[in-house]
Structure 1
């Protein structure tokens, strides 16, 4: 009986070893595949006010009054408070790569001076600096790997000095011990198709563009682009996306991720769907389903969400396996100090590169 017991134990060990050997290749393959996982976020930070209101000014005194009102709105929409919630979103969702739009810097000029030149240099706010501070406070380490300044406008204000806004895009990549992405080269640019807006004292070109980079994860090379297309002309937005598709994103052999604010909803009529359709026509596919990502009230204090448009997208070419897809910043519980984190919701997508 004792011999039988030892025999059964030996047989059980042998069977277990055979089972382990049988499943070992699958386990190794799964582990290898997971190294190709990449989590990306698209987040419009919101510049804090609707600057197109400046275009409604019929004369310089009205422009100055509008500039002060917009400055007051930027103060009221309180990015330092909103940045805390956005940093919490990043901590919860753990993106490897973050594409940011409406990365704003505000400056003031000398008191009483308006010379028609964009030369105000006294800092008021720096969105990226503020957000990076909140990330560090949470023990998060992200580095800026691409940045593109686009709009640069300076206007006189009833505050008694010029106010200057520099607006653009930035891409952040997780750094430090938990870094998984290798950055190979920067990819950023400004579109040649632009909307020009007349003000009483100047013509303002609403420059738009993109930030991005070529990188690799788990030995797989990819291109990540963070575009921000024109909001006030669907035709121009479509031309901007087509320009990007014909140039920096023209290589169909390189796995490519477009994560940004297209200002284009496929359900909209006519020109307003052009930017999205340009990407789909170039072989890109959406990683998620239709969801409302824009837009809350200008002052971000509306009680219930007013998101109705689907203009923020994460598109990929070729099709990739989507392991996780979620919307962030779209629930009342996401508000901070009575404000929505942004006038847009954000998107977080976990992908597996082939």
Structure 2
């Protein structure tokens, strides 16, 4: 897809974008023509956003570039987020810029040639008038310098040609990328159309199924209502056919059987009550026996405690006696030792 066929875009570079990757033909304050993109670095935000050589930048951060100063441009190009309004390449303007550059190079070259011709004519006039040899040498030196300048001008022209060739190659790459993008867009559009058709088909099937379900529900409700009416009619017929006397007899039989059942339940409850009261009396007897046994055990434990206290007292008395015996023994040892020492003396 040719970039000239694309519509005007408004792009935004957020805080994650460092360098935009754009090189412009000229910077604000702008002379004619407008600010045109000269080169886009590969892998940068501008390339990913679809900006290519030849695109015209109309606004930066809400300000028109035609009325911006150099300070405003520098401040705007560094701010983030940055809102950029870009117009696709204008083929006529792009050709005019290229033609203007070529004319500038041609005029510069023509200027150099005219300067050289003027110097040659000046030297010729000097020679005819008999100017000295030193002047001739100076003229030769100037001619050599002019040749060197011409060579430099030619080298610059060659460099500009190479730059133009590189720009044309970059434009060709951008055209190829745009064509690939156009093909991908067409494929995605076809896929979306197919998906839309599939969704429409699914919606039609869903509507048909909903309609069938509503019909089935309506038929079922009608059949149910009809069955209710038939059942109500049958019930009325049965009620009309019942014998009032037989119904009363059946009710008396039911009451008699219910009275008999209640009597049996009353007898069973009385038997359960007697059993429960006997169990309660037995539990009382058991509790009294357990209470007597616990009192006896408590008395035995108190006797054991008194016996243990008596034994502790006896043990303490024995310990006191043993202490006095040990004291006497120590005294006797001391006396024996003293006597032994006295005998040796």
Larger radius of gyration: 2
Larger relative contact order (CA 8 Å, sep ≥ 6):
1
Give the TM-score normalised by the residue count of structure 2. Answer: 0.17
Give the TM-score normalised by the residue count of structure 1. Answer: 0.16
Q: Which has the higher helix share?
A: 2
Q: Which has the higher strand share?
A: 1
